[in-house]
Structures are given as structure tokens and as C-alpha cells.
Chain A
Amino acid sequence: MDKDCVIKTEHLKKQYTLGVIGSGTLRRDLQSWYAKKRGRTDPNRIIGAREYEKGEIFTALEDFNIEIKRGERVGIIGPNGAGKSTFLKLISRITSPTEGKITYRGRVASMLEVGTGFSGELTGRENIYLNGAILGMTRAEVDGKIDEIISFSECEEFIDTPVKRYSSGMFVKLAFAVAAHLDAEILIMDEVLAVGDVKFQKKCIAKMRDLAVDENRTVLYVSHNMSTIQELCSRCVVLDHGKKIFDGDVDEAIKLYVGGEDDELYSYEYVDGKYKEKVRRQYVNLTRAKFYGRTTSFFYDDEQVPLELTWTYLRDVERIGLRVEISDTRHYPITAFVIDNVGGGKKDEERSLRLKLDISSLATGIYCVRYVFFVCWNKESLPESVEIASGLTIRKRLRTDGGPRWQRAWGSVVSKGVEIVENGGD
């Protein structure tokens, strides 16, 4: 193996048997085996079931080849059942491959589930030793790190109390602290950071990065949380149905996995049955929303969003208003663009409207757009929405990296209205 290479897999394959494995009782299995041997049909086969259904196999990982170099932080993403956890299980030797070979250099510390093997009756300190030993440390190694582990865990006060009295948060912190202080060259993590409070999560990520960057450890990280993947990883592998479909740049990988075809979606046709949410159609029928003159849904900070809406009137309308609502991907409302009157029309008349939306105050990210037509009966009454439809997403990106980078944790709207009135002390 190459000197720089830490993990290498060759034609790795893992298969599982589908369905109920065996009938679970020895007598029936012997019966089935005897019948099969004599060429008869299986007496325990479910009537109507296909002959070989019981033995059908599921390939969780197929022909997986990867070489990981020292100090690389590799993120592994993909939909459920893509084989991510299977790969981690193989490399951490929880189960063995059906075919192929894994070679690795040094020790592997797996954090598939931190706190495994914690014993409620033992104190925090005793559990550090026990957990450390389970993860492959010797007593002497733990001795050398115990103070560091205790202070990282933030559990100093309770360290000599049995862990069954711990809160779940403390439990996890202690467990992570042990795992993070392993002397292993390869660290394996599976969503472990989805624990503890936000502050502790940040501390964990920082610790992971320290380990990988400063101490040149290799990290394998599986997560569905793209922002931690972005924060932590230097390389990203996308798995789908047991196969590697991408290996390389983190942003590209996330785009491939999350973005999918939506990336290219710049026009949305409203056909019956294709609405994203329930709509009310009384006055108008929206038929198309489109970013005109565009071929992507990406917009940079100095661009406006050119939006074209096409609709037909369902009855004669004198005046009607339009509201373009912007929400984040969780449908939490961010802001809206309101037009009092877009004009009326006769029944069956088709109308088209082109708008330019100023999104300069939106932070980088993905936003959903919703179109609401409304009517106002008189000045006092609240506008009544008559048609609601959603479609198209706006992906805001920054072209330049001027000033401090805006963090999503600060909010979705970048406020600009601030000026320093006086700057100077007495």
C-alpha cells in the first residue's frame, strides 16, 4: 500500500439476505433442508410465495473502491439505504464483507454510537476507563488523558457519580469526550454530532477539525446534515444504491445529492394534480411561473430575480392583487413582495406579468417562492387570498467574498441599514 494512503478498499461488496432469515426454529429449517435435498417443495414455504423469495439477497454495497489519504476528512452522503452505514460497519469490523478487501493503516476509532457499553452503575470516571477500553485504549493511555477528557466533557462536578443519574445530555457529552480523545489515526463518525446542545456540537466540530488538520488524523463522516458536512469535510463521496456515484469536491457533491434536477428548474408549469400544495381557484388559474431569460435558479448578490407569471381569469375580475411570498426551505416565512393591483380581466382571458424581485437583502441559501392572488373588498377589510400556489426555488449565492462572511445562524435577511453616527470616546 502506498505510504500516504490510509484506507484502501478493493471491490468491496456486502450482501444481506432479505426476508426472514431461516424460519427461526431448527425443526422447520431441517424440514426445509431435507425436502430441498430430495427435490421436493419446501413444506414451510408460504403458499403462493415465489420459490426463492426467502433467499433473495440485497446488495448494500457493490464494487466500492476508494483510497483515502492521510489527513483527509471524507464526508459520505446519500439517501437512506445507500450503503453509507454499511461501509462504516465494514471498516469498523462490526460485520465482514461478502467480497473484496479493506486495508487500513493504524487504528480505527469508531463512534457509530457514542456511549456504547456505558454502565449505569459505574461512575463517570469508571465509565471513561471502560468506554476507552472498549474503543481499544489501554488503561495507561486513558490515565494520560483522563483530565483532558473530563474537562472536555464539562462533567467535572458529577464525574464520581454513577452515570445512571446523569441527564441524557451529560451522558452524551461524556461519551463523546472519550471518543474524541482516542489515539486512533482514523476516526469514524455516524451522525454523532446530532447530540448535545448547540454549543457542544460546535465544540465537537471544532475538535474534529483540530484532530484532522493539526494532528493529521483521517476522518470518515456520515451525516444527513449538509452544513456539518460542509464545515468539516475536505472531500465528499456520494453513494446511491450501494454504488459510488461521486467522489470529490464537497460543494459539488452536496449539489448533486441535495440539488438534483431542481438546479435547472427555472420554469414551472401548473397542470392539474401537479400542485405542490392545495390551491383555491376562484378568480384566476395560474398556469406557469418562470424565471425569464434564465436557465438556472441560481442568483448572485448583484442580480434581481426576473419572474414571469402566466394565468387565466376564471371569471370577470375588476382588480386583483398579487403577493410573492419568500420562505425558507422549512417554509418559515421570510418576506413578501406585494403588488396592490395587477389589473383585472374578462373570463378566459390570459394574462402574463413580468416582475423583477430585489433579493439583495437575502442571505445565501435556498428559498421557496409562493404566489398569492388576493382581492380587497374595501379599504377596511383584510385582503382575502383567492389563489395560492407555490413553485420555483431561488438559490442565492455570493459572487464576492467581501467583508465578514454572513452566517446562516444570524438570520436569513442581511440588514444593511446601519451607519455609525459617532465614533469616538471622551
Chain B
Amino acid sequence: MSNEKITVIEAKHKLFSINFKELLHYRDLIFLFVKRDLVNSYKQTVLGPIWILINPLLSTGVFTIIFGVIAGIPTDGVPPFLFYMSGNVLWGFFSSNLNKGAGTFLGNARIFGKVYFPRLVIPIANMIFNFINFALQSVVFIILVVAYALAGAEVHPNLLILLTPLLVLQTALLGMGIGLIVSSITTKYRDLNILVSFGISLLMYITPVVYPISKAPLGLGTALLLNPVAPIVETYRYAFLGSGAFHWVYWLVSVAVTALILVFGLVVFNKVEKNFIDTV
């Protein structure tokens, strides 16, 4: 027993101390949590995991009817269904990351109060779970893009597609970062929990999900792009559909904001996780 690790628990701790080696040791737990969530989501439903695909198709259909047909918001010449789906799928990924992240402490208080494992396991597992859903939805989206393109519709996928993995990662980290901050605060103030769902839908309307940024009133388009999610959605849509533009300056700003939020989120999370069980 010579390779026994010595662990020291002290009252004081560093501002930023993520034990990556420990996280790596718990990788099996991360995957088991993902598996558990997948099983739990669709057990005892008739259609099972097919719901992952039906959900965004349904809501995209609703968007198309309400915003496209009834409100008549132009989509820069792109087929409306594809336009709304591109925004919807990515937004869904962002908001589920934020939502799940925000519930990290409160939703898992019971298990956190009984046993120790690196608390970051939970948000990471959530992120992977959300990514699986997103990936499946993206496959359908890409199939539709190809189908529309072959049918001669106005879609022009371009080389920016190479940037999309980065965009997806950024979406996940931004959502999780905000989620972690919210989660850390909700251990003390429950108000925020109620505000989260409202905040998410509000955020959606200042993000070009259901309208192109070019259709925003004069001057407002630029202001909207300062919302860190906006350049991601806009770039993502531009890459696949060729509508809109790539505002690289705003995107870089958004990357910087994402990094800032993520670091801040991790620091707060790191601080709260030590003792939150006493106050929750």
C-alpha cells in the first residue's frame, strides 16, 4: 500500500482549484450519469428517443407558422423552415445547458449531501447529455439543408461550416457558465430560480433566433450583436444557409465574454461547492 494518496482537507482553499486528475478518475461516473439521464428521459414513452427529433421539428413548425406565415417576418430569402430550425436547434442547445447548469446545486442537493464526488461531474454530464440531443437534431437539420439545396432552394453552405464545432463548444460553455453562476446564487437566493425560465425566453427574443439581424430596426442590430449569443447564432446560420453575415469582430467579443463568464462561473462554483450543503 505504498501508492496511497494523501489527501488534505483544509478550511481555506484556493480561488480556482479544479482537480482535473480527479475529474478524469470520475469519467466513468460522467458517462453513467449521461446514460441515466438518457434512460430516464424516454423510459415508458411510446416513441422513446425519437422525441429528441420530434420536439425541435414541432417547435420549428410553430415558429414557421407564427413568425413566418402570420407575422410575415422575412427570412432573407432562405426557406423559412430551415431559417427557423437553424436558430431553434442551436438556441435549444444553449438554453438547455443554461437550464440544467442552473439546477446543479438545488437539483442535486440530496446526493451532494450524502456523498462526495467532484461536483463538476454533474454540469459536465449535463453538457454531454445536451450535446447528444443537439447532435441528433443537427443530423436532421443537415439532411434537410442538403435536401433543400438539391431541390434548388436559396441555401448556400460555405466554408464557415469549419467554424461550427467551435461555435457549438462556445454555446455549451456559455450556457453552462451562466448556469453555474445562477446555480451558485440560488443556493442562497431562490428568487433567481424563478427568474431563470423568464430570463431565457426574454434572452431568446433579443437573439436573432426568429428573425434575421438585418431586419432589426436601424442601429439596434449592432446593439443586439453585443449579446454574446447573437453572433454565435448569426454565424452558425450564415455557415449553413448563407444568409446574414459573419460579424467576426462581434464574434470575438462574444468569445471573450464567454471565456470571462466561464471563468467567473467556475470560480463561484468552486467557492460555493465547499459549503453549500450547510445553507441550501
Contact = CB atoms under 8 A, between A and B. Distances in A.
Contacts of B35: 126
A319 interface: no
Contact of B9 (A29, A101, A110, A137): A101
Interface in A65-120: 89-108, 110, 112-113, 116-117, 119
Contacts of B278: 16-17, 95
A94 B275 CA distance: 8
A321 to B, nearest CB: 58
Given A129-B32, A133-B28, A97 B277 contact: no
A105 B113 contact: no
B20 interface: no
A416 B97 CA distance: 73
B28 A90 contact: no
Contact of A101 (B10, B25, B33, B36): B10
Given A99-B11, A104-B7, A107-B5, A133 B191 contact: no
A387 interface: no
Interface stretch (A20-28, A224-232, A369-377): A20-28
B110 interface: yes
Nearest to B30: A133
A110 B40 contact: no
Contacts of B117: 134, 136
Contacts of A107: 5
A116 B110 contact: yes
A234 B114 CA distance: 26
Contact of B188 (A22, A90, A103, A129): A22
B43 interface: yes
A139 B10 contact: no
B247 interface: no
A164 to B, nearest CB: 10
A26 B40 contact: no
B147 to A, nearest CB: 36
Interface in B1-35: 1, 4-11, 13, 25-26, 28-29, 32-33, 35
Contacts of A21: 188, 279
A98 B277 contact: no
A196 to B, nearest CB: 18
Interface in A131-160: 133-139
Interface string A157-194: 00000000000000000000000000001000000000
B5 A96 contact: no
Interface residues of B, number: 39
B40 A119 contact: yes
Contact of A24 (B4, B8, B43, B189): B189
A24 B193 CA distance: 12
A27 B192 CA distance: 11
A113 B112 CA distance: 11
A53 interface: no
Contacts of A105: 4-7
Interface in B146-190: 188-190
A243 to B, nearest CB: 18
Contact of B275 (A29, A95, A117, A133): A95
A113 B114 contact: yes
Contacts of B8: 101-103
Contacts of A96: 9, 11, 13, 274-275
Contacts of A101: 8-11
A192 to B, nearest CB: 11
A25 B39 CA distance: 36
Nearest to A24: B190
A135 B115 CA distance: 7
A16 B276 CA distance: 11
B81 to A, nearest CB: 35
Contact of B32 (A25, A110, A133): A133
B114 A112 contact: yes
B22 to A, nearest CB: 10
Contacts of B43: 121
A97 B275 CA distance: 9
A1 B189 contact: no
15 contacts: A25-B191, A89-B277, A90-B9, A93-B116, A95-B274, A95-B278, A96-B13, A96-B274, A101-B10, A102-B9, A103-B9, A104-B7, A106-B4, A129-B32, A130-B29
Given A95-B275, A103-B6, 20 more contacts: A17-B279, A21-B279, A22-B189, A26-B189, A26-B191, A90-B9, A92-B116, A94-B114, A96-B11, A96-B13, A107-B5, A110-B114, A112-B115, A121-B36, A121-B39, A121-B40, A122-B36, A130-B33, A136-B25, A136-B117
